[in-house]
Structure 1
């Protein structure tokens, strides 16, 4: 197995159910990878800044594909941004709000995530779990910049229904219900797989030299950029069908354990 690029989703994959990880085991893995010229990528719906705050100094020399694959950050610098034009983004947001006023909608730009200030406190905690820079507003008309992505959180788990109701926008933007509670909307043609291919071209690494870990439906696109596809034991059945291998679940440090085994580090 000739691996040169490791790509891991975060929530439900690298992070445990408390949104934490074993820093000692990951640091050792990362050091071993660096000795063998293997690069590491986190690919997530979280803001890049939020990923940096979670993994701290271990973000050094790590590619962060954040905001649902609309941005690439490396050692403090953004090297890629994909955007939805402001007017179109606001139109989509209004359509979602007309469908269900109880869902939490986030409009994410280069400045951070914008969310309406009247959302319940429990929703604010969920928002801050994924977004480091958050601005509360009265109305999305206040947002002047183009959008990196639009996200929807529905605590009732109705996102697949909502996604089907905005399906008519699929000729203009990429729409994915990554699980029952989240929808992510990005520029047309932008998803985890296409953004990882950008990194592969940059590093001159092929899909045949890439291993990817995931648990959600949006990781199906990620798997298209990797020869070695590893679904977590807690993954959606649809993703497991696409996988070559099933790892231990995210509460058992499944990513690190699997890599140590496959790469022969211990």
Structure 2
């Protein structure tokens, strides 16, 4: 069994007093995972110890529920998955909450991206349903990116006619999502959330849907307070989630706005920052 992470140096600023942590929520890409998209091997013994102490560990990601469930299959029992940027929350295969979009909005997003692509932007749409993700692009470069985050995906002739509860529409831009695709979606920002969730990804969801809303609902359901919650994030889709926890940590590699919003700073994702911070705060 691998050793638990080495504690951080005493210079890491942390809140004073004992830590009564009941819930730990972490983003995946750029946060728990390193840049090679690997789960740290030290996570598994740490999760066993957290479970023994009665601390719930919850991944919160833009990734699909099916993808998260597969990644954590060995420890999935009892774990809460905050999937699709908070639009779909599941525990032991049972939906705890969801926030489906109007199908007409999803269809208009697909048509908007088709026009962007026709104008020369190298972008593709992923229509995210509860059962699967649906794509029209069939080139291997795009599908390789889709497979990273959407284990259950289907190629369809017309993504405007998906028969599923659509909970999010994700756009993958091979260039800079923040500079090209996101501004082109400004017309949706008045009624929906348009969130840059990574260097190449933009997610569009209901205005009421985000990781923070999902986390607050989970806290209410479990009777856990923000003071008993620890959260880790690195990108703009993590901001509301950070607001829902007293123990909020931005990764050292985080977007500048995330660093400003979080109460504390953790080492980078490539320095095992999530587990090193948990180890120190909880004395693993």
Q: Fold-level match, TM-score > 0.5?
A: yes
Q: Does 1:11 align with 2:29?
A: yes
Q: Which of structure 1's runs of 4+ aligned residues deviate more than 3 A? A: 158-161
Q: Does 1:154 align with 2:181?
A: no
Q: Does 1:33 align with 2:79?
A: no
Contact 2:177 2:196 in 1 (8 A): no
Contact 1:160 1:177 in 2 (8 A): no
> In 2, distance between residues paired with 1:179 and 1:4?
28
> In 2, distance between residues paired with 1:203 and 1:95?
40
Task: Give 1:49-60 correspondences, 5 Å limit.
Answer: 49-60=66-77
CA RMSD of aligned residues (A): 1.5
Contact 1:7 1:212 in 2 (8 A): yes
User: Structure 1 residue 182: deviation in Å?
Assistant: 0.7
Structure 1, unaligned runs of 5 or more: none
Match for residue 207 of structure 1? 226
User: Structure 1 residue 70: deviation in Å?
Assistant: 0.7
Task: Give 1:81-160 correspondences, 5 Å limit.
Answer: 81-101=98-118, 102-118=122-138, 120-160=139-179
Q: Does 1:79 align with 2:99?
A: no
Deviations 1:157-190 (A, max 9, x none): 1444322232232332221112331101112210
Tell me the TM-score normalized by structure 1: 0.93
> In 1, distance between residues paired with 2:185 and 2:174?
19
Match for residue 65 of structure 1? 82
Q: Does 1:188 align with 2:185?
A: no
Contact 1:9 1:44 in 2 (8 A): yes
Tell me the TM-score normalized by structure 2: 0.88
Match for residue 239 of structure 2? 220
Structure 2, unaligned runs of 5 or more: 1-18
User: Structure 1 residue 76: deviation in Å?
Assistant: 2.1
> In 2, distance between residues paired with 1:78 and 1:26?
25
Match for residue 231 of structure 1? 250
